[in-house]
Amino acid sequence: MLNLKEMLYLTHKGHSDLKKAIFACTITNLSLMLPFGITIQIFLELLKPLMGEEISWSRMWMYFGFGVIGAVLVFMANKNDYKKTYVTSYMEAEATRIRIAEHIRKLPMSFFNSKDLTELTTNIMGDCATTEHVLSHVIPQLFANAISITAISVMLAFFEWRLALTVFCTVPIAFFIIFASKKIQLKLGVKHIEAKLKASGQIQEYLEGIKVIKANGLDGDKFVALDDALRRMKKLAIQMEFTTGVFVTGAQIIVQAGVGLTVFVGTYLLTGGKIELVPLLMFFLIVVRIYGPILVELTLLPELLYLRESTKRLRTLISTPVMEGDAEIELKDYTIDFENVNFSYNEVNSLEESVIKNISVSIPGNGITALVGPSGCGKSTISKLIARFWDVNKGTIRIGGIDIKTLDPEHLMSYMAFVFQDVVLFNDTIFNNIRIGNMNATDHEVMEAAKVACCDEFVTNMPEGYGTMLGENGYTLSGGERQRISIARALLKNAPIVLLDEATSSLDPENEVLIQQAISRLIAGKTVIVIAHRLRTIVGADKIIVLNNGEVVEEGTHDTLIANCGLYEKLYCIQQQSLGWSV
């Protein structure tokens, strides 16, 4: 049973529930022998006239009474079995899903860089569903059948060991066929799962990119890839079902051949005077009854083989190390210091390939610091490192002198508010999407934040105002509207460190003025790190850090940097000239 816990990746409770389910299932199986035994007794009673005896009607009534009691017992056993098997297995699957989701939340972003979303969804939904199905429909029945069949065969062996042996001699051969075909079935099973993943990935990509596909008239090309993936999935599904079917049916035929063998040996024993007719008929009836569960077991076994792959994936996912750091120290000083920080999104061999290269820089607390530089120089990466979306490869980032790697990531996050370029919205009401900034905020506080972030005017024009449901990722909103919601969230969070990444990039000039006002309120008295391409918006910043190719090339105020005549001055002049352009 210890291995079963490992194999099915069960919680402690799930493991103990499974034992109860197996017990309940065994009781149900054995209880089913009750009506069967009573039927045999009635049958024997009815055969009495053939042997010159009279039917005892008082006995027949007694059997009828036992029949009613038997039916009640079978009902109760089934009810208990249902509760123990199904309800507990669904509860266990829910616990596993939550366990995985919790774990995923604590994983570093580097994990998501190497995984695609389809694989994760399959892990959470598909693999958990497989375990759920095996827990509710396979394992308890398999064990219960094995226990009840063994019990019945021992009883049969006491009665007539030669016949019992004949009945069961085909069973090991049938099981051997299933286990011998394990490799072929597993290979096909793995291929089928891979094809399913590929098809899901293609469907996801197709749906996500539908706008681009339409705009570029790519329908044909994109359909080919999707079609191929779906066709391969179908082909492998048929191959797998066919192969499994061949082995399972073959094994079932061999088991059923046991009936003929039993009849043959039984007749031989009868003619030799070693067994009487009535006990032999009884034997035949029991044989037919116990072959049923064996045939079911043979169809269930292949499912166990595929389960190994599912649990292997779940185990790999859950054993991925979470982000280190668990200290929940209160931060009072928000000065952010980078000391020899080196970072790359993927494993690299040299400093040259790093995105951030040996940076040592200080971001003053309670002031506005702007990160500027050409596209791809690492501005957003720096803000992600401060928030510990990623951990540095080398060096240290300290806030108020505390190494952020020692802090609990969620605790650190409570000190930060974000307004990012890519605003993620959930398929919920606008109101709830804003409330994400602070789940403890009152309704009044949510509305206030929305007003300050200039959400009010576009929200009140919507059919159900703040109660309007946003589609998936808020596809019904414009870029500017999405960003205003993001600002409202940040306002509501009221965190001491604010990270602004292209906060005003999607806003029209009219709104930009209003949003700038909202942002001024958001950042008042806070430690602000702002990434803005339009340098005129950060002229008043307390400090400007100029990056180029992952390195800090200049730092200072706008005036000192202009006086330096370096990269900043160059970028500023180019932008000033472009302001005069028109198309």
Ligand X SMILES: Nc1ncnc2c1ncn2[C@@H]1O[C@H](COP(=O)(O)OP(=O)(O)OP(=O)(O)O)[C@@H](O)[C@H]1O
Site of interaction with ligand X (CB under 6 A)? 113, 345, 355, 373, 375-381
Backbone phi, psi, residue 336, to 5°? -110, 120
Q: Mapping DSSP to helix (H, G, I), strand (E, B) and coil, where does residue 369 land?
A: strand
529: three-class secondary structure by DSSP: strand
Task: Give the distance from CA 162 to its chain's centroid.
Answer: 53
* CB nearer to ligand X: pick between 275 and 355: 355
The distance of closest approach from Cβ of residue 327 to ligand X in the complex, given in angstroms and rounded to an integer, is: 27
CA distances for 214 relative to 33, 204, 211, 224, 470, angstroms: 64, 15, 5, 15, 23
The answer for residues whose C-beta is within 8 angstroms of residue 163's C-beta and 6 or more apart is 156, 262, 265, 266, 269, 275, 280, 283
- Give least dist CB 399 to ligand X, A: 20
**Shortest CB 552 distance to ligand X, Å:** 13
Smallest distance, ligand X to C-beta of residue 29, A: 54
State the residue for tokens 């806003």. Answer: 507
To ligand X, the closest distance from the beta carbon of 375 in angstroms equals: 3
Q: C-beta of 104: minimal distance to ligand X in Å?
A: 17
Is the CB of 96 or the CB of 344 nearer to ligand X? 344
Q: Which is nearer to ligand X, 72 or 117 (CB)?
A: 117
> In degrees rounded to 5, what are phi and psi of residue 51?
-105, 15
Q: For residues 10 and 392, which CB has a smaller minimum distance to ligand X in the complex?
A: 392
Nearer to ligand X, 492 or 498 (CB): 498
Quote the least distance from Cβ 113 to ligand X, whole Å: 5
| Dihedral angle computed from the Cα positions of residues 223, 226, 232 and 236, in that order, rounded to the nearest 10 degrees | -140
As to burial, measured by CB atoms within 10 angstroms (0-12 exposed, 13-18 middle, 19+ buried), residue 303 is middle
Looking at the Cβ atoms of 139 and 355, the one nearer to ligand X is: 355
Compute the least distance from the CB of residue 242 to ligand X, in Å: 42
Among residues 355 and 453, whose Cβ is nearest to ligand X?
A: 355
Q: How far apart are CA 271 and CA 267, in angstroms?
A: 6
**DSSP alpha helix (H) spans, 524-557:** none
Q: Which is nearer to ligand X, 379 or 435 (CB)?
A: 379
- Taking CA atoms, 529 is separated from 191, 479, 502, 532, 539, in Å, by 48, 22, 11, 10, 14
CB-based contact 380:429 (threshold 8 Å): no
Query: How far is C-alpha 514 from the chain's CA centre?
Result: 41
Taking the mean position of all CA atoms in its chain, how far away is CA 236? 24
Question: CB-wise, 378 or 437, nearer to ligand X?
Answer: 378
DSSP H or E segment with residue 502: none
Give the chain's largest Cα–Cα span.
124
The SS3 assignment for 325 reads coil
For ligand X, give the closer residue by CB, 108 or 364: 108
Query: For residues 339 and 360, what is the distance between their CA atoms, to the nearest angstrom?
Result: 4
User: Running DSSP on this structure, what letter comes out for residue 455?
Assistant: -
**Identity of the residue numbered 74:** V
Beta carbon of residue 535, minimum distance to ligand X (angstroms, whole number) = 12
Measured from the CB atom, the residue of 92 and 554 that comes closer to ligand X is 554
CB of 377 to ligand X, least distance (A): 4
Q: Which is nearer to ligand X, 370 or 377 (CB)?
A: 377
Q: To 10 degrees, what angle do helices 170-180 and 219-271 make?
A: 160
Alpha-carbon gap, residue 141 to 27, rounded angstroms: 11
Q: Toward ligand X, which CB reaches closer, 120 or 237?
A: 120
For β-strands 368-372 and 551-556, DSSP reports them as unpaired
Question: Hey, what are 523's tokens?
Answer: 């950042």
Shortest distance, CB of residue 355 to ligand X, whole angstroms?
A: 4
Beta-sheet pairing, 402-403 with 394-399: antiparallel
Relative to beta strand 394-399, strand 336-343 is antiparallel
Distance CA 90, CA 22 (A): 15
Q: At 175, phi and psi to the nearest 5?
A: -65, -35
* Minimum distance from residue 315 beta carbon to ligand X (Å): 26
Nearer to ligand X by C-beta: 40 or 547? 547
User: Which residue type, as a one-letter code, is found at position 278?
Assistant: V
Q: With beta carbons less than 8 A apart as the criterion, state whether 123 and 317 touch.
A: yes
Shortest Å, Cβ 502 to ligand X: 7
Nearest approach in angstroms of CB 25 to ligand X is 49
